[in-house]
């Protein structure tokens, strides 16, 4: 009886100790992640890579850590590492469906065209109105001489009314905000980003970002909006206001 009590007590102690260690590792990993994300936003890919790997060493089951390591290597054009980390991220969390686009691009730059087409199709099955992706896959099919797929993609672009819809979106936003500063209104109609724009104004001007990296801090929220594929455009927002950009 006494022995059983001791065994139960020991098992409880071990379980509690393990829980504390796991929590400590998780907190440590998150600290490395935040540091890596800030360095990524600042363009310091070397330090960002180093710190996100430390985060992964502490917690290998966190999808967003692998996502960031993939993004770092995507920007470094280290395609095999980016592809591997994106696949790990998707295995851990299937909700990261926007990665289908980055996988398509990474496979394209790796000249693995079958995989490239597969992931473009997966992406467009979900984000069927992403005209940038439709234009890209159309160009690839056209260059490869695949007339059937090229015609299908051209038909999709026609149905989406690419140019008309973009202009309509910009005009509708401006007409609905008559108090808009003229410089902001001109930037929206020109399809450009301007320091001081709100998130809503950016979307009206240049559309939805390909990718958004978000960091919640004590004082507010920092976001990095990524547009296109290499060479990319990076917009940096603080609490929903554009503070800087990099192209």
Per-domain residue ranges for the chain?
A: 14-96, 102-160, 163-246
Q: What angle do CA 234, 101, 227 make, to 5 degrees?
A: 15
CATH number for the domain running over 163-246 = 3.30.1450.10
Percent residues over pLDDT 70 in the chain: 87
Q: Is the pLDDT of residue 117 over 60?
A: yes
Please report which confidence band the pLDDT of residue 211 belongs to, taking 50, 70 and 90 as the band edges: confident
The DSSP string of 131-183 is HHHHHHHHHHHHHHT-HHHHHHHHHHHHHHTHHHHHHHHHHHHHHT-TT--HH
Asked whether this chain's domains 14-96 and 102-160 adopt the same fold, the reply is: yes
Tell me the pLDDT of the chain averaged across its residues: 85
Answering whether pTM is above 0.75, one says no
Q: According to the model, what pLDDT value does residue 14 have? A: 45
> How, if at all, do strands 241-246 and 211-216 pair?
unpaired
Q: Which CATH architecture has domain 102-160?
A: Alpha Horseshoe (1.25)
pLDDT digits (tens, 9 = 90+) for 158-169: 777 655 567 778
Beta bridge partners of 211: 226
Most trustworthy range by pLDDT among 55-69, 135-149, 157-171: 55-69
Q: According to the model, what pLDDT value does residue 143 have? A: 77
Choice between 226 and 8, residue whose per-residue pLDDT is larger? 226
CATH number for the domain running over 14-96 = 1.25.40.10
Looking at the chain, how many residues does it have? 247
Q: 35-39, 167-171, 173-177, 219-223 — which is least confidently predicted?
A: 167-171
Please report which confidence band the pLDDT of residue 16 belongs to, taking 50, 70 and 90 as the band edges: very low
Q: According to the model, what pLDDT value does residue 17 have? A: 47
Please report which confidence band the pLDDT of residue 178 belongs to, taking 50, 70 and 90 as the band edges: confident
Q: Is the pLDDT of residue 3 over 60?
A: no
């Amino acid at each position: 009886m006494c022995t059983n009590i001791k065994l139960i007590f020991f098992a409880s102690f071990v379980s509690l100790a393990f829980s504390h260690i796991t929590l400590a590792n998780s907190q440590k990993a998150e600290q490395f992640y935040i540091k890596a994300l800030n360095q990524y936003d600042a363009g310091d890919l070397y330090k960002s890579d180093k710190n996100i790997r430390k985060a992964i060493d502490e917690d290998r089951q966190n999808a967003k850590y692998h996502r960031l390591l993939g993004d770092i290597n995507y920007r470094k054009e280290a395609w095999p590492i980016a592809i591997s980390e994106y696949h790990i991220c998707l295995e851990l969390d299937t909700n990261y469906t926007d990665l289908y686009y980055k996988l398509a691009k990474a496979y394209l730059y790796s000249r693995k065209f079958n995989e490239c087409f597969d992931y473009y199709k997966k992406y467009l099955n979900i984000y069927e109105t992403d005209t940038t992706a439709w234009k890209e896959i159309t160009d690839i099919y056209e260059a490869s001489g695949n007339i059937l797929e090229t015609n299908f993609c051209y038909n999709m672009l026609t149905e989406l009314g690419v140019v008309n819809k973009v202009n309509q979106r910009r005009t509708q936003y401006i007409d609905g905000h008559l108090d808009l500063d003229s410089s902001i209104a001109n930037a929206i109609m020109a399809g450009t980003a301007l320091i001081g724009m709100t998130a809503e104004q950016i979307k009206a001007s240049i559309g939805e970002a390909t990718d958004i990296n978000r960091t919640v801090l004590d004082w507010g929220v920092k976001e990095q909006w990524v547009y296109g594929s290499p060479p990319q455009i990076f917009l940096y927002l603080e609490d929903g206001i554009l503070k800087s950009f990099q192209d």
